[in-house]
Structure 1
């Protein structure tokens, strides 16, 4: 759960993952990914500020459906909750520095994958007030860090890092990789006979590698609910 207030202290005209259109002085917003705890304020129909994100996030965001409460049930509207944002979306490619004018200030914005879910992004902001990195939610596995090393020249002279500290505790010193986690998941499935029908209650963006692995190991179709299919079809 994100608790970040969205403020980039060095650049008050930039806010990230916390979207209040009435926030004074904000000229551009950055969105790291489309998990619900990072979308606060984007459902406002008065939103009219440029919103920078990755290309995949720009495709996924309009596909997120609104929940509609009814007595005794929860449904999702057939209309996208964030379709009104399409005119303001500014998708950027990963690792392609982009200059953006914010009033009298010009910053260079570069996106890097965060290894969290499809479209997840880290932001490198370079400008006259210093260079800062916002990681968003990231998964810093060995291969991921090795990839970042090839871009170390981009991360020179960093003044501040806005860091995801969700699991920054000694109790998570041996945090399993995605591949180890998926293998543990598959070990549970293998304990049951081949006729067993599994109903797996994961419907959050980022668990797609589990479905891929089930198909690879068993050659069986994986059936998803309609809204998951609609979301993935946005790719």
Structure 2
């Protein structure tokens, strides 16, 4: 849940992902994606009135613009679309700032914003990107191919804790989820899936991938459908008609529809997707946990600690501002950021993914014991590679 206040101190006159309080005096607005915690104040008559009176604009991605136009047609003319990875000049009262939107991997249409004025500032919004993905972002390099000097990174710190060192990639999680669904549905026409989520929204990629692989939409609640139907290319992935599918995501604590309980004679497998429960210790056992036909699967749309760490070490910013802070972890986050900003520290050697350690162990157990009696495969997998 974002706790970012909206203001970028290096660029007076703009606000990002917050549209109330002192942000009402800004001259230009930016929205990284359409999730509720990043849209506070956007739906108010006060903010929308200010946009029109001052002829201010909200700068967004193509997908976000399509959603906002349907939600708030009355401010259609104040919404400006930014092209991915293309610089746009935004005129403020006494300055011009260049902004480049960069896909952030969080949800359809989500972007980071790279601002360039006197200094270069990166606002990540909610993001999920590997270091290799970040290295391929051309906007981070100058015309000579040299990495730009980043002054400040406003960082998504949702899981910036050593409790969450690593997460499986989105592709790994989607494979696991879709395999669990297919295995169950293939057994019998009387088998159905109860797909449970840990938040109201944020599972767009999951539903789209399920439809792509299973050729079956996901039954969702009226509230969820009202949101998902706003997103381009999602109209086939979700449905309000329970009879059209055997995959249901309408019975969690957020959505009170009880269609699954009314399907007498059907056998249900529950698949619960979340990231918060998947600490470092739990992921050592794998990315799935089965408890009486309820399968918990690790699915993360935010960066893990190591992904955040790798971004900081690669970009080498002068300052990092955490955008998600809770009282019980704020001090820990600030301390870890301070440590990472000391770039004289040695790089951390690459280790196997935590959730692959259990696979390594399984491979060892089925092998013959070597002559010297050591678990060569396991030991070599855990050894740090030699740094070149």
Is 2:195 the partner of 1:200? yes
Cα distance in structure 1, aligned partners of 2:87 and 2:124: 16
User: Which of these two proteins has the greater Rg computed from alpha carbons?
Assistant: 2
Gaps of 5+ in 2: 235-388
SS in 1 for 2:172: helix
Is 2:35 the partner of 1:35? yes
Number of the residue aligned with 1:77: none
SS in 2 for 1:166: coil
Number of the residue aligned with 1:231: 230
SS in 2 for 1:198: strand
Number of the residue aligned with 1:152: 140
Number of the residue aligned with 2:12: 12
Number of the residue aligned with 1:213: 209
Evaluate the alpha carbon distance shift between residue 59 and residue 21 of structure 1 in structure 2; reply closer, same or farther with a 3 A threshold: farther
Deviation at 1:182, TM superposition (A): 1.3
Cα distance in structure 1, aligned partners of 2:74 and 2:195: 32
SS in 2 for 1:156: coil
Deviation at 1:61, TM superposition (A): 2.0
Number of the residue aligned with 1:135: 124
Number of the residue aligned with 1:68: none
CA contact (8 A) 1:12 1:25 kept: no
SS in 2 for 1:140: coil
- Which portions of structure 1, spanning 4 or more consecutive aligned residues, are displaced by more than 6 angstroms? none
Number of the residue aligned with 2:67: 60
Larger fraction in helix? 2
Deviation at 1:181, TM superposition (A): 1.4
Count, aligned residues: 216
CA contact (8 A) 2:106 2:127 kept: yes
Deviation at 1:177, TM superposition (A): 0.9
Deviation at 1:171, TM superposition (A): 1.7
Is 2:164 the partner of 1:172? yes
Q: TM-score, normalised by structure 2?
A: 0.51
Number of the residue aligned with 1:71: none
CA contact (8 A) 1:45 1:84 kept: no
Larger fraction in strand? 1
Evaluate the alpha carbon distance shift between residue 26 and residue 214 of structure 1 in structure 2; reply closer, same or farther with a 3 A threshold: closer
Gaps of 5+ in 1: 64-79
Alignment root-mean-square deviation, CA: 2.5
Number of the residue aligned with 1:98: 88
